[in-house]
Chain A
Amino acid sequence: MRSRESLLRSLSFVALLLFATAPLLMLIVTSLSRGWFYPAVLPPSLDASGWRDLVNDPARRVALTNSLLLGVGTAIVATLLALPLGRAAALSTRAVRRTVALLAFAAVALPPVALGVGLQLSVLSLGLGGTLMGVFLAHMVPALGYLTLVFLGVFTRWDTRLEEAAATLGADGVMRWRLVLLPLLRRPIADAMALGFLVSWAQVALTLLVGGGAVRTLPLEVLAMLQAGQDQHAATGALALAIPALLVLAVSRTAARDTAAVAA
């Protein structure tokens, strides 16, 4: 009985391992193999030209740079705006909290294509159609939605007694932020920045619509290479999208562990 259960667990584990990793392994092998076509089960030869082209090809380098700029910009600005918003809403009444949460979730839940069609016209009327700035503004909408939800959650469970103790001891607003709040917030801020980066980094529909094809980003390049039948390059681009994402998750987990003793 016991051995049958442990056999079942082992089999489940193998199935789970295959399911979770097979797509990533497929990307890794495809990105390293030239001329790998049906019916070859294994690649005929390995080469790193996909990775070289990702860095050397001017168009792909522009796309990579754009994606990084948008991701980092979105992460920073969205965190700076969502933190005070989430805090103000969490410390307010229940009705205000629910209203803000509903708005934030709407920003996240609206189909990006639908939002993009609407935002495209507004960005065009601002004279920012087809510019990096216009795409950045569009990426900010879902990013702000996500991060507002994050900080709303953080501050709804927040214990204000430490700040109050600091205030009692004579700390003014700036000191309370610098000495009490920000050190406590290191972990949520790291998580929020990671999330903000990923929302922009993975974005397709808003970039496509608001950028009007003029603003190239890595996800758009990957789709273009796939449509051109360049599997090796598409897989390389897809991995290049996945790796920073996996790293960001690992880093935000590490940051979380480092501050866990304080923030708990």
Chain B
Amino acid sequence: MSIARPVRRLHPLPVNSITSSRRTRAVPLLLAGTLLGVPITVGVGYLVAGALGIVGNASPGGVTRVLADGSVLRSAMLSLWIAAVGTTLATIGALLVTFTFGGNRTLDRVARRVAVLPLPVPTVAAAVAVLLLLSQSGWLARVATRVQLINAPASFPALVYDPFAIGVIVAVVWKELPFLLLLATSLLSLRGPALTDAARTLGATRWQALRRITLPMLLRGMAPSIIAVFVFVLGSLELPLVLAPSAPLTLPMLIQERRQALDMASHGDAYVIALLATVLALLAAVAHEWLRDDA
């Protein structure tokens, strides 16, 4: 096909041109391999060796034991529940704030400023704050006592250490909503107006334009970050450490518990469960890359 033939250059580029050295592959791959590949490989490699009982003072045979262990499955289910519900609610919240305060009036700008306040707050601090607010002797329980809704801490509904991990989910939404909101508002200001205007010109109602144009556009753009949030929550230790029930434990908590146990079998289990959590995260990393369209 003659169309595909590249245009022949009439004269070569200058030797010191930046473009001439642009497409090197060796340098970035070498750097990335050393700085990122080595620690990841070493970390995961030790997990595999630990799971097989080669290193780490652990007895082998952990894989079959862990897979048959019902508590591991329950832990995985709890972790997935927290990550799924927390991520979904944070996404819905971010979209609601975007649609309500996406405009350019003063209230819109102030509202968006306020909403992103929790963004840089370390997770530990968020967990402590949610505990102080929601525990059975926390501030909400005290207000409920004052207005005589309840008469003792025990009659306040369990919002932390509870089987549905409500406290953890509240903290997740508080922490992750700002991140998704920043993304949603920047996507909306980049691509929103033109598309929405076109739809409205063609006769779509406001609701139709929102549902058929804006919402799918935002969700598509946010998809990789939604996956990222899901993965972070799945791997978080500090939120469940402060706010989650002790039975079942979340996966990161279970790893930590088994690792601190004194018998070698439990040590081996820790490596196997950590490997399981790693595989879940790596699958998500692949999905994240696959959904990104800007690379």
Please report the number of residue pairs spanning A and B whose Cβ atoms sit closer than 8 angstroms: 286
A-B residue pairs in contact (CB < 8 Å), sample of 30: A16-B114, A20-B115, A22-B133, A24-B118, A24-B121, A27-B125, A27-B128, A27-B129, A39-B142, A84-B31, A91-B22, A92-B23, A93-B23, A99-B29, A103-B32, A103-B37, A104-B36, A106-B285, A109-B282, A111-B278, A114-B43, A114-B275, A114-B281, A117-B270, A156-B295, A219-B238, A237-B128, A238-B122, A239-B125, A246-B120
**Which residues on the B side are within 8 Å of A21 (C-beta)?**
114, 117
- What residues of A have a CB within 8 angstroms of the CB of B29 in the complex? 96, 99-100
| Highest count of chain A CB atoms <10 Å: which of B120, B139, B282 | B120
Interface residues of A in 190-227 (CB under 8 A from B): 198, 201-202, 204-205, 208-209, 219, 222-223, 226
| Given A37-B137, A114-B255: A198 in contact with B132 (beta carbons within 8 A) | no
Q: How far is the CB of A224 from chain B (nearest CB, A)?
A: 11
Please tell me if the beta carbons of A167 and B252 are within 8 angstroms of each other in the complex.
no
Question: How far, in whole Å, are A219 and B241 apart by their CA atoms in the complex?
Answer: 12
Decide yes or no whether A2 CB sits under 8 A from chain B.
no
Contact in complex: A141, B39 (CB < 8 Å): yes
| Chain A contact residues: helix, strand, loop or mixed | helix
Contacts of B141 in A (CB 8 A): 38
Interface residues of A in 105-130 (CB under 8 A from B): 105-115, 117-119, 121-122
Confirm or deny: A59 has a beta carbon within 8 angstroms of a beta carbon on chain B. Answer: no
Given A204-B123, A223-B241: A111 in contact with B281 (beta carbons within 8 A): yes
Check: B28 CB closer than 8 A to any chain A CB. yes
The yes or no answer to B159 lying at the interface (CB within 8 A) is: no
Task: Determine which of B28, B36, B119, B251 lies in contact with A111 in the assembled complex, contact meaning CB atoms within 8 Å.
Answer: B251
Which of A105, A107, A198, A204 has the most chain B CB atoms inside 10 A of its CB? A105
Chain B interface helix/strand/loop/mixed: helix
> Given A112-B237, A219-B124, are A41 and B50 also a contact pair (CB < 8 Å)?
no
Interface locus among B1-9, B12-20, B61-69, B194-202: B12-20
A226 touches B121 (CB 8 A): no
Closest beta carbon of chain B to A178's beta carbon, Å: 16
Say whether A160 faces chain B, with CB atoms less than 8 Å apart.
yes
A80 to B39, CA, bound (A): 18
Question: Which of A39, A97, A105, A108 is B146 in contact with, Cβ under 8 Å?
Answer: A39
Instruction: Report the separation of the CA atoms of residues A209 and B260 in the bound assembly, to the nearest whole angstrom.
Output: 10
Least Cβ distance of B156 to chain A in Å?
A: 10
Closest A residue to B27 by CB, please name it: A88
- Bound CA span A94–B293, Å: 12
**Which B residue sits closest to A39, measured CB to CB?**
B145
- Digit string of B137-151 for contact with A (CB within 8 Å is 1, else 0)? 101011101100000
